[in-house]
Amino acid sequence: MRFGQAVSLVECVHKSQSVKQTIFLLGPPGIGKSSVAKEVALRNAGEQIEVVVVDLSNCLPEDLNGLPKTDGDVMKFIPDEWLHKLCNPEANAILVLDDLAAASSTIQVATRQLALDRRIHNHVLGPKVTIIVTGNRATDRAKASMLPSHFRNSVLQIVMEPDFDSWSAWYRAQAPRVNLLVLAFLVFAPKHFSTLPSDADELGSFATPRTWAMLGQLLPIIMPLQDETILHETVVGLVGTGVGSEFLAFLRLQKDIIPPADILRDPQAAIPNPEQVERSLLVAFCYSIVSAVVTNRAEGGFYNLSNLVAALLHLTQNKRDIFSFSFFLVESLGGLELRRDFARVVAKMAKMNPQTMTVVRQLSDVMNS
C-alpha cells in the first residue's frame, strides 16, 4: 500500500464512530510509517487531532504499565502522562506505537494489551483515540521479531511500500529549505530511493526516504562551506558509501555544465554534438535546464516550455531513457500541472516536425502513464 492510501485508511478509521480497529503498518525502515498519523492530523487541522508517538524500542516496562503504588490493601498503577491524557473521554488523538517488532518481549506484551484491549490495567483509552502500531518485517532485516499469531490475527496488517510520488511532492513543497538536486538524482536513479539494512556500509548507513530528506535539509547549509571533506562525510554518513559516491559524482557534474540560459536560448550553438557528450553529463544538462525553467518560468523570455522541449529533444536525440528522466523531472520539480503543459507542448511541436513525431510516438507510453 502506498503512503497516501495508508493515510486515507487511517483517516476513515479515525473518523468512524463505531469501529476502532487497530492498524499495524509494516514495511522497510524510513519510508514514513510513523508519519501517516501526522499527515492525517494535517489533513484535518480543524479537528485538532493530537498525535502521540511512543517509541517502543526505547521503552521500559513502566513506560507502558505505569508505576505501582499501594492504596490501602490494593496495588494500583500510576499511568504515564501520555496514557493519562489519552484516557480522557474527550481526547481526540492518534496513538502511534512505533517499532513494535524491535521492542523487548516485556514491552511487546504490554503493547499487545493496549493495542487489542485499548487499555492498560484499569486505564482505558478514550473512544476517539485511534491506535497505529508500526514495525519492520522479518524480510526487511531490521532486527524485527515474529509477533504472536493471536496478535497478528487481531489487528489490520497493512504492508507499506516506498512511495516516491508522495515523497517527491512533499519534498518539492519544502523548497527552498531543501536541495532539489536530491530529487533530481532520485528521479534518475530510483533504485536508491529506499534500500534495506542489508545494503548498509561498514558504518551501518543506508539510503531511505528519511535519510534523503535529512540530506536535502543539510545540503543548503553545508555546500556554501565549499569543504569537500565535510560534504563527503555528510553524504555517505546518511545514505551510505556506495549510493553516496554516486550522488557526489552527480553533484560534481553540476560544476561542468554550460549555463542553462545558453542552452535554452540556442541548444544547437551551446552543444553542437550532444551525441559526443558523456551520458552522465547529458543528464546534468537536462536537470539544469528543467530546473531553470521551473524556477524562472514566470519571467518569460527563453525560460518557457517550448524552448525547454526543443532543448531536450536536441540533447537526448534518440536517448529515450534520458528524455523520460527529463519528462518525470518536470513533474517532480514543477508538479503534475506543469507535466501536462509540457506534454501539450511536445504534442504541438510534433505536428510541425516529423522527426519530433517519431520521438513522441516512442514516448507515448511514458507520457500517458
Domain boundary among 161, 187, 207: 161
- Are 363 and 262 in a shared domain? yes
pLDDT at residue 357, rounded to an integer: 63
Gap between the Cα atoms of 320 and 94, Å rounded: 46
Asked if residue 176 and residue 44 are part of one domain, the reply reads: no
182 versus 349: which is more confidently predicted?
182
- One domain, residues 148 and 176: no
- Average pLDDT of the residues in 341-352: 79
Query: What's the CA gap between 228 and 245, in Å, rounded?
Result: 12
Q: What's the whole-number mean pLDDT along residues 168-172?
A: 84
CATH of the domain at 58: 3.40.50.300
- At position 8, the amino acid (one-letter code) is S
Look at 148 and 32; give whichever has higher pLDDT.
32
Res 344: pLDDT: 83
User: Is residue 367 predicted with pLDDT exceeding 90?
Assistant: no
pLDDT of the residue at 140: 66
Helix (H, G, I), strand (E, B) or coil at 177: coil
pLDDT band at 358 (very low <50, low <70, confident <90, very high): low
CB 63 within 8 A of CB 103: no
CA distances from 111 to 12, 38, 118, 151, 153 (A): 23, 21, 10, 10, 15
Whether residues 361 and 228 fall in one domain: yes
* More reliable by pLDDT, 319 or 91: 91
Strands 67-71 and 74-78: antiparallel
- 171 lies in the same domain as 155: no
pLDDT at 214 > cutoff 90: yes
Q: Are 80 and 121 in contact (CB under 8 A)?
A: no
- Predicted confidence at residue 193, as pLDDT, reads 93
Domain count, the chain: 2
pLDDT of residue 168: 85
Q: Are residues 133 and 155 in the same domain?
A: yes
Is the pLDDT assigned to residue 368 strictly greater than 80? no
pLDDT(7) > 90: yes
| pLDDT at residue 210 greater than cutoff 80 | yes
Q: Which residue has the higher pLDDT, 284 or 193?
A: 193
What is the pLDDT averaged over residues 184-197? 86
- Does pLDDT of 159 surpass 80? yes
* Confidence band of 62 (pLDDT split at 50, 70, 90): confident
Judged on CB neighbours under 10 Å (0-12, 13-18, 19+), 109 is: middle
Residues 150, 174, single domain; the answer is no
Of 139, 161, 183, the one marking the end of a domain is 161
* Bigger pLDDT: 120 vs 150: 120
Q: Report percent pLDDT > 90 for the chain.
A: 34
CA atoms within 13 A on the CB side of 359: 28
Region label for 201, one of left (φ > 0), alpha (ψ between -120 and 50) or beta (otherwise): beta
The pLDDT confidence band at residue 247, using thresholds 50, 70 and 90, is very high
Residue range of the domain that includes 295: 165-367
**Where residue 67 falls among pLDDT bands split at 50, 70, 90?**
confident
Average pLDDT, the chain: 85
Distance of CA 53 to the CA centre of its chain: 19
In this predicted structure, the answer to whether residue 245 has a pLDDT above a threshold of 90 is: yes
Query: pTM here?
Result: 0.76
Q: Which three cell numbers stand for residue 5?
A: 492510501
Predicted confidence band at 356 (pLDDT cuts at 50, 70, 90)? low
